[in-house]
Amino acid sequence: MSPPAAGGLAGARGEGGGAGVGRVFVGAGCNRVVNNVSWGACGLVAFGAQNAVALFSPLRGEIVTTLPGHKATVNCTLWLPTKKDVLQIRSRERHYLLSGSSDGIIMAWKIDSGKGEWTHALQLPMMHKKGVTCLAGRMVSDTVSIFASTSSDGTVVIWKMEDEPTSVGSCEVSCLHSISVGPKPMVSLSLAVLPGQGGHLILAMGGLDHKVHIYCGDQSGKFIKACQLKGHSDWIRSLDFSLPVMMGSEEHSLFLVSSSQDRTIRIWKMNSDAVSSAHTTSRKEDIGIASYIEGPLFVSGNTHYQVSLESLLVGHEDWVYSVEWQPPTLLTDDEAHQPMSILSASMDKMMMIWKPEKNTGLWINSVTVGELSHSALGFYGGHWQPDGKSILAHGYGGSFHMWRDVGLGSENWQPQIVPSGHFAPVSDLTWSRSGEYLLSVSHDQTTRIFAPWRSQVSPGDVTCWREIARPQIHGHDINCVAFIQGTGNHRFVSGADEKVSRVFEAPLSFLKTLQHATLLKTDNSGDFDNVQVLGANMSALGLSQKPIYTHGPRETQSSISNDRPDSMETIPDAVPTVFTEPPVEDQLAWNTLWPETHKLYGHGNELFSICCDHEGKIIASSCKAQSAPVAEIWLWEVGTWKAVGRLQSHNLTVTQMEFSRDNAFLLSVSRDRHLSVFSIRKTDDGAEHHLVAKLEAHKRIIWACSWNPFSYEFATGSRDKTVKIWCVQDSSSVKLLVTLPQFHDSVTALAWTGRDRASNAGILAIGMDNGMIELWNISGGRASTDSSGSDYGES
């Protein structure tokens, strides 16, 4: 689920001492911006997940931590040392990660890969007035790094980072120089060390003016414009310098690759040219065709450099957002080898590896990989693993795609397991009735199922949480979900920014996949024969999901497309699959849908909250409302799916509802600052209900409520930063028992679980707007206010 702006977990407070809490799983989607992902030499991949920076291990295929701190969306990340700094990486355990956000803030994080510790190093001085869009840098010595940042405010800033390996303190970062680039900002940067120049640097920047601008400088940070490279006809989206390459008998050459929204990739070659200054002057005066083909000259230090266009690569069918040279390898202790191989990623859903052909030297596309998704948009970036054996892409759906070369004699790139999660706010979640898996919904218009996947192959029964299904891929933002309790097949009901609730039922393919994941027999594994639906197909408009039956004719896609050969609405058929290992992104997006079995019509506005009783007989739903008639709560009977009640009490949107554990009462809270308790009784004709109590409970919007599992006590949480404990007395009134001490931020979520029925003891989890979660010990309906907890610092 998308990490909040800040994260943390406080120990349980009150009688009974602290509670031991450990992180089991983090799910997060990748922000949909170009320079968001960075694969470090330490082996970890960093990416922005909303306002947090997340780190995931490609070897384990799971997110290891999140780094909260930014107050705005993270746009770009950069590891130091980079993958190109192979000489500085040797036996290095301390790495730094830079992250830039849309409010112009750049933060530095210290990663001790040997100890597995991550700490916030410092926040850089505020030099950008708008969002940071790209970071690029290199290490110029074992302790000094030079990096550059660009922003949509039209400035490029040069920074210096100094790190003392023997020191336990933080690094020092200073601003060396600021370059104003005018009204058309730069969106891509690349920095390199010029060969044979004793630390002279070259900076390439590209952006909205379709040109590549070359600047030269040194470690003092003073950069001077050297030349500009023309050729692209649209925005330049990515730049990357190679390490110096020895080409035959020539001096070392430096290569720069650039990609653009004009769908092309250009490789520029920079040769050192020991020509006289007089010859240089005559060259500048010569503006004939020969000088145009050769390209511009520029001077750095005592050396002249000749720029020429090495190759023009045409193969992508949409904007090319990313290009990256394959990382160098270390041949000896003091020599690095640069492979002549380039990875490109495009909005055409393809990644390509380009290499020069052995005999002719012409650059050709040697490998192509891609994704199959419901979106017409593709990849924002592609990245090499430091050893060049794997490639990683991040796409429009906030998803990662990784391929690894598993071929022995020849290249064979196969998909690998990567983390996944929502890329927009997670609006609701619920556990399955037996707790085997977690179901979450989001404004990214998907419903996802996360479950622990137990491996029989690995020793020690290794369990990793994975996304095992994506039951609903919708055309509207999904706001609420409830698992339907009781016996029978797995079912849930969800509500989105539409006036109808939708009921989904697990297909046979999911039930068997769940059995493989848990290595256990599911509670209805003997009833597989009764489930006649194998999977589901996505409709053309992305709203309803049609069932695919185990024994029934399936309309082929070819017969559909023959009638409308040019239709944009025809999409491939799903292939429901029983997975014996965790599915990858393409499989999740197409082959794990659940069929929609019913629609519940009645509300006048978009659905906002939904819940089910603990017997699986009644569903309650509410919608966005600004008047009492629209704010009524609808009751639906499971099975007949008929409306059996309309509860009127609130004047504004009902934000959350919950049935008491014995289903005798329904609790609701609202934007109108009131809580309501209804008495509910199931009858043969539907349900009887009456209002037990309604009272103004808080001074601001009430966001959350939760019942005590052992009694008629409940908690409410509000934007006024308070949590109150209430009790239903004699089934006729509600009494306030206690108000917890005021919290630091708005309370947005509550969950009450029981520990000991005899003493009526439980734990209340309280979630806040700043991302913090606090656990409170509650006994006998009262919470002790003396804090004996501890901060665990978990995200």
Question: Which tens digits make up the pLDDT trace of 591-627?
Answer: 899 999 999 999 999 999 999 999 999 999 999 999 9
Q: What pLDDT does residue 569 have?
A: 40
Q: Single out the residue of 114, 74, 68 nearest to residue 95, CA to CA.
A: 114
Residues ≥6 apart with Cβ < 8 Å to 708: 714, 715, 752, 754, 760, 762, 778, 781
When pLDDT is cut at 50, 70 and 90, the band that residue 792 belongs to is very low
CB 638 within 8 A of CB 617: yes
CB 371 within 8 A of CB 349: yes
Asked if the model's pLDDT at residue 347 lies above 80, the reply is yes
Identify the bridge partners of residue 430 per DSSP, sorted by sequence position: 439
Half-sphere exposure of 185 (CA within 13 A, CB side): 17
Q: What pLDDT does residue 1 have?
A: 38
3-class SS at 588? helix
Q: How far is CA 148 from CA 128, 299, 426, 430, 579, in A?
A: 12, 21, 34, 44, 45
CB 529 within 8 A of CB 636: no
Q: What is the 3-state secondary structure (H, E, C) of 301-353?
A: CCEEEEEEEEEEEECCCCCEEEEEECCCEEEECCEEECCCCEEEEECCCEEEE
Higher per-residue pLDDT: 10 or 725:
725
Distance CA(642)–CA(457), nearest Å, equals: 48
Asked if the model's pLDDT at residue 148 lies above 50, the reply is yes
pLDDT in tens, 106-144: 999 998 876 667 888 788 889 999 999 999 999 888 888
Distance CA(98)–CA(170), nearest Å, equals: 13
CB 450 within 8 A of CB 441: no
pLDDT in tens, 541-591: 656 777 777 765 544 443 333 443 333 344 567 778 888 889 988 888 888
When pLDDT is cut at 50, 70 and 90, the band that residue 425 belongs to is very high
Cis peptide before 576 (omega within 30 of 0): no
Distance CA(134)–CA(65), nearest Å, equals: 23
CB 129 within 8 A of CB 122: no
In this structure, which amino acid lies at residue 95? H
pLDDT in tens, 675-722: 999 999 888 887 889 999 999 999 999 999 999 999 899 999 999 999
DSSP run (H or E) holding 605 = none
Asked if the model's pLDDT at residue 307 lies above 60, the reply is yes
Mean pLDDT of the chain: 84
Go through the chain and tell me how many residues it has: 795
Q: What pLDDT does residue 488 have?
A: 83
Average pLDDT over residues 177-181: 91
Q: What pLDDT does residue 163 have?
A: 83
Distance CA(588)–CA(398), nearest Å, equals: 13
Asked if the model's pLDDT at residue 795 lies above 60, the reply is no
Q: Single out the residue of 594, 508, 522 nearest to residue 551, CA to CA.
A: 508
Q: What pLDDT does residue 609 have?
A: 96
> Residue 433 carries which DSSP code?
T
Q: How far is CA 230 from CA 9, 189, 235, 248, 309, in A?
A: 53, 16, 12, 28, 10
CATH numbers and ranges of domains, the chain: 332-406 (no CATH), 420-550+574-601 (no CATH), 606-782 (2.130.10.10)
Q: What pLDDT does residue 282 have?
A: 42
Q: What is the pTM of this model?
A: 0.88
Average pLDDT over residues 469-486: 92
Q: Single out the residue of 175, 7, 233, 18 nearest to residue 770, CA to CA.
A: 7
Distance CA(715)–CA(727), nearest Å, equals: 9
- Determine phi and psi for 589, rounding to 5 degrees: -70, -25
Q: What pLDDT does residue 90 have?
A: 76
CB 429 within 8 A of CB 1: yes
Q: Single out the residue of 196, 198, 200, 209 nearest to residue 154, CA to CA.
A: 209
Q: Which residue has the tokens 């969002």?
A: 131
